[in-house]
Structure formats: C-alpha cells, structure tokens
Structure 1
Amino acid sequence: MVLTLQIVLFLSCLGMTMFVLLHKGKGGGLSSLFGGGVQSNLSGSTVVEKNLDRVTIICAIIWIVCIVGLNLIHAYVG
C-alpha cells in the first residue's frame, strides 16, 4: 500500500510539473518592467487551455490525496 502511494505520488508530481510548465504565462513578470510585456492577448482561453487547467487540478488533487494518505499510514501504522 505504501509503495503504491509513493509511486502514484511520484508520477503525479512529475505530471503536475509538466502540466504547470505547459501553461501559457499570464503575468508580465520582470519582462513587463522593462517594456517587454507589450503583447496583447486578443484570443480568450481556448478549449486546450481549459482542459489543461482541469488536468492540472485533477493531478494536484491526486498529489494531495497521496500525501495525506501516506501521512495517515505513517501516523497510525508506523
């Protein structure tokens, strides 16, 4: 059980990292401070972005459930 949760935690961690990096940047950051953030985003959020948001949220929920599960197993069994 513990090994399974650890494997799922590792895979969800990798997936969440990948999905977060696939997101399009929304803020200007330091580039807007020096005039690099002059781009205008005329297109709204697309279906792909909405689906990417959903997958990222699902992956984050799986990650949190694995962490809580491992902590509960460690507290009550170990």
Structure 2
Amino acid sequence: MNPLLILMLILLVISGIGLIIFILLHSGKGTGISDMIASSVYSTQTGTSIVEKNLDRITIIFAIIFIVSLLVLMVIYPQGSISR
C-alpha cells in the first residue's frame, strides 16, 4: 500500500470519529452533554457560550480535515484504482 493512501485513510477515520464525537457533544436547545460539563465548570451563562464556541471551532476543524482527506482520496485514487 502506498504511504499516502495509509495517511489519508488514517486522517479520514480519525476525523470521522472526532466529528461524530464533537457533534454529539453539542447541545440542542439547552440540553446536552456540553451544558452538563459547562454547568459544572462555570456558574454563569458566559461559560456555556465559551464552551459552545470552542465546540463549534473544533467541530469545524474536524469537518474540514474530513472533507479535505476525502477529496484527496477521490482525486488520487479514482474508483477502482486502489485494488491494482
């Protein structure tokens, strides 16, 4: 296997798992894991917004890594060329 293929597949899997985890951490309408964490760490509403902003940033970073690695795999290895 090509080292570039291995690297891109590892990036794709790690970013996909990270994306799933950080999307599940987001709260929807005031309930969620991030609110429970934020309420135990911060006692004000500003703490919750900081946690949500950080979750948004991390989720966007994982989404960009996922899309870029997927596009690189699509360009370098078109359909059917990995098995050669």
Q: Shared fold by TM > 0.5?
A: yes
Q: Show CA shifts across 1:9-37 (max 9, x none).
A: 0000000000000000139xxxxxxxxxx
RMSD of aligned alpha carbons? 1.7
Other-structure match for 2:36: none
Which protein has the bigger helix share? 2
Identity %: 46
Matched, 1:4 2:7: yes
**Structure 1 length normalisation: TM-score?**
0.71
Paired positions, count: 61
Runs of 4+ in 1 over 4 A off after TM superposition: none
**Structure 2 length normalisation: TM-score?**
0.66
Q: Secondary structure at the match of 1:25?
A: coil
Gapped regions of structure 2 (runs ≥ 5): 31-44
Higher relative contact order (CA 8 A, sep 6+): 1
Other-structure match for 1:71: 74
